[in-house]
Amino acid sequence: MTREGASRAPADLEALAWLMDNSIPIPGTGGRRVGLDAIIGFVPGLGDLVSSGASLFVIVRAAGHGLPRITVVRMLLNLGLDLTVGAVPVLGDAFDLWFKANQRNVELFRRHAVASSATTGGDWTFVVGVLAAGVAIIVGAIALAIWLLAQLLGAFG
């Protein structure tokens, strides 16, 4: 489908994003809502994979509508963050309440599919930032492992 027809396409995607991120009101929280993503995420391991499969549908549809590749990469990173942090017990469930990857991805879809003049500068910034943070985490983990190993070897030497 071309960008001209894309302005009508997000209706099913918006419904899926609402179902996954905002369909269930939380009583006593002043209108705060969660979706099936947070509920399914309580099932260790499998829950996050199942909800990510549904979320991947949004990204596949976006790619099929000719969105810029960097925007699709940003959408995949949103999903990857949701899956990775969501896999951490308790912290991941709290993260799901705030991050709402499906809503973010539908907004990216809407912005780039409907407005063909939308810039991708913010998408590039996000992708580079996430990649830089990932590299920093990996380098930090390696440095910590080396330091711990040196401490252990020093204790025996």
User: Which are the contacts of 59, defined by CB distance < 8 A and separation ≥ 6?
Assistant: 72, 75, 76, 79, 105
pLDDT digits 0-9 by tens, 73-132: 999 999 999 888 888 888 887 888 888 999 999 988 888 876 666 677 888 888 888 889
Query: What's the maximum distance between 2 C-alpha atoms anywhere in the chain?
Result: 70
Whether residues 61 and 88 fall in one domain: yes
Share of the chain above pLDDT 90, in %: 21
Do 69 and 109 share a domain, yes or no? yes
Q: Is residue 105 domain-shared with residue 131, that is, in the same domain? A: no
Q: Specify whether 50 is located in the same domain as 69.
A: yes
How many domains does the structure of the chain reveal? 2
| Same domain, yes or no: 83 and 14 | yes
Contacts 24+ apart (CB under 8 A), 30-34: 32/97, 34/96, 34/97
* Whether residue 55 is found in the same domain as residue 106: yes
78 and 146 housed in the same domain: no
Highest mean pLDDT among 46-60, 95-109, 140-154: 140-154
What's the confidence (pLDDT) of residue 148?
93
Q: Which domain holds residue 131?
A: 119-157
Most confident of 67-71, 117-121, 146-150: 146-150
Residues 103 and 149 in one domain: no
73 and 39 in a common domain = yes
Q: For residue 99, what are the CA distances in angstroms to 6, 57, 75, 142, 157?
A: 25, 18, 13, 28, 48
pLDDT at 147: 93
If asked whether residues 111 and 128 sit together in one domain, one would say: no
Tokens of 111: 């912005």
**pLDDT at position 2:** 43
